[in-house]
Structure 1
Amino acid sequence: MEFFLTDWAVWTPDSTQGDPGLVAQPMPELAQVPAMTRRRLSKLTKLTFDVALAVQPHNDTSASQQQISTIFASRHGDLHKTLGLLQQVAGQEALSPTQFALSVHNAISGQLSLFKQNRADSNAIAAGADSLHYAVLEAAARLQTEAELEQILVLYADEPVPEVYQQYCQDPVQPVALALLLSRNQGDKIHFTRHSAPAQAASTEQVLQLLPLLQQRCDTVSIAGRQCLWHWQRG
């Protein structure tokens, strides 16, 4: 598949200033988000907001800049919030409907859409270690098959799982968030392919493996997925 990468942004705890798209700070400040709204955002939601607000859709009018189809992906979602709800159930406590609504996998995308008054479609993907790549695959497929779609925003965010789950999964080892603005014809052309590899185990920290290509420090990168190999090539 082919698509164009128009803009991108990433957040990690050890991001280095001076590299394109990187933000160096302990946690996003989100100064553009009203304090009352900001207080209600979970850590994972704040990371997603930070990278989503850093990319700029290229549209004709300021009003249309708010309207863009979005795909949100996360391996674990807001698992810390979900664990809290499970602990309440175990303790036979009453659950907060609001907290439950904000724990579902598409809640972060919904909160972002409300903040930006974005009425375009959005969906959420969870596909294990390959969640980011399957979100990109869906975005690329939509750009190829939906003639009216000029741009699509891919968002990925994850954080280490709570301690009780650490024995089952240690990926990622640090919080991470990534925004990719994909276009039908604007930006850097990217060739994106998936190759079958039945014996392949997925590598960890796939976002960090993709960064050299995004930063234009290399033209190709191959990332091991579960029973497959994801290949990115610029140009």
Structure 2
Amino acid sequence: MAIEFGIRAWAACAPALQSPEAWQAWSLAPWLPEGSDLPALAAMAPMLRRRVNAIGRAALHPAYDTLPPDESPAKPAAPAAPAVFASRHGDTRRAFDMLSELAAGEPLSPTAFGLSVHNAIGALFTIDRGDASNLQAVAAGRDTVETAAFEACALLADGADEVLLVCYDAPLPEAYAEFADEPGCLFGWAWRIGKPRPGEPVFRLDIDHVREAADPDTAHPVLPHALDVLRFMLIGDAELRHRGERAVWRWQRHG
């Protein structure tokens, strides 16, 4: 089974990497972003913006930046495009802080709990824009980006003209570091995708083969996989392979 799509617009955000030019230069000589210094989320209404922490800013900056040119941040076009927000770990820092408070016998904040759930960042985006279109939140381990791309293309197949795909993550808290299987950093990127059109590159994703349970994992990645996928798109490579938890995925670019 394979999916194909075109990318109408893209944007990305990480510490020291906010402009398209900076990301294009990064794609030629990639490095792992460090820190959590991101610009204020000026596109969002102040009452909602105060609820957004660093991982939320990393996800939402590119989401706003990929809106169609004729659509203002506060007034979505009718109908607005559905969205898929994807993150391996979500807002683990906020959840870990709440678990620490619970262990110390302190009361939990209902607001903090509401903002820690996996669809909270995408929900703030839709609330800010008065957008009632389909929103999905995806977490699928090492297959998160690929699963999200399939979800987005399923929405295209269901009749959507375009779909917003947002992938983001942040380093795990130190207490969980032993479970990490790839480098961690704060980042977010967004693609506004549609069905392939003549004259634009076509991106194809399929399963090269299903992994055997005994398949060894010998790779030592330099970047989180989601950033490898972004680099593949930016640099124009013909193919990228990824060893997921249950499958080996193949990304291809044509045209």
Short-chain TM bin: 0.7 to 0.9
Question: How far, CA to CA, are the matches of 2:25 and 2:117 in structure 1?
Answer: 28
Instruction: Tell me if structure 2 keeps the 8 A contact 1:48–1:178.
Output: yes
Instruction: Tell me if structure 1 keeps the 8 A contact 2:90–2:118.
Output: yes
What residue number does 1:221 align with? 240
What residue number does 1:112 align with? 125
Cα offset for 1:124? 0.8
Question: How far, CA to CA, are the matches of 2:102 and 2:84 in structure 1?
Answer: 31
Please list, as runs of the form range in 1=range in 2, the aligned pairs for 1:13-162 lying within 5 A after superposition: 13-15=15-17, 18-19=21-22, 26-57=37-68, 63-64=76-77, 67-144=80-157, 146=158, 148-162=159-173
**Aligned mate of 2:226, from 207, 222, 228:** 207
Residue by residue, what CA displacement relative to the aligned partner does 1:72-118 show, whole Å, maximum 9, x if unpaired? 11111101100111112111211111111111111111011111221
TM-score, L = length of structure 2: 0.80
Cα offset for 1:63? 4.2
Is 1:171 aligned to residue 188 of structure 2?
Answer: no
Question: How far, CA to CA, are the matches of 1:118 and 1:202 in structure 2?
Answer: 44
Q: How much identity, in percent, do the aligned residues show? A: 26
In structure 2, the CA distance between the partners of 1:106 and 1:60, relative to structure 1 (3 Å rule), is closer
Question: How far, CA to CA, are the matches of 2:178 and 2:207 in structure 1?
Answer: 30
In structure 2, the CA distance between the partners of 1:212 and 1:74, relative to structure 1 (3 Å rule), is closer
Instruction: Tell me if structure 1 keeps the 8 A contact 2:236–2:253.
Output: no
Question: How far, CA to CA, are the matches of 1:20 and 1:170 in structure 2?
Answer: 24
Cα offset for 1:27? 0.8
Cα offset for 1:232? 1.5
Instruction: Tell me if structure 2 keeps the 8 A contact 1:200–1:227.
Output: no
What residue number does 1:5 align with? 7
Give the alignment's Cα RMSD to 1 decimal.
2.8
1:227 alignment partner AA: R
In structure 2, the CA distance between the partners of 1:211 and 1:156, relative to structure 1 (3 Å rule), is closer
Residue by residue, what CA displacement relative to the aligned partner does 1:195-227 show, whole Å, maximum 9, x if unpaired? 222226496511222233321432222222123
2:14 alignment partner AA: T
Question: How far, CA to CA, are the matches of 1:169 and 1:26 in structure 2?
Answer: 22
TM-score, L = length of structure 1: 0.87
* Uncovered stretches (5+) of structure 1, i.e. residues with no partner: none
SS at match of 1:129: helix
Question: How far, CA to CA, are the matches of 1:149 and 1:75 in structure 2?
Answer: 25
Cα offset for 1:141? 2.6
Is 1:197 aligned to residue 199 of structure 2?
Answer: no
SS at match of 2:11: strand
* Uncovered stretches (5+) of structure 2, i.e. residues with no partner: 27-32
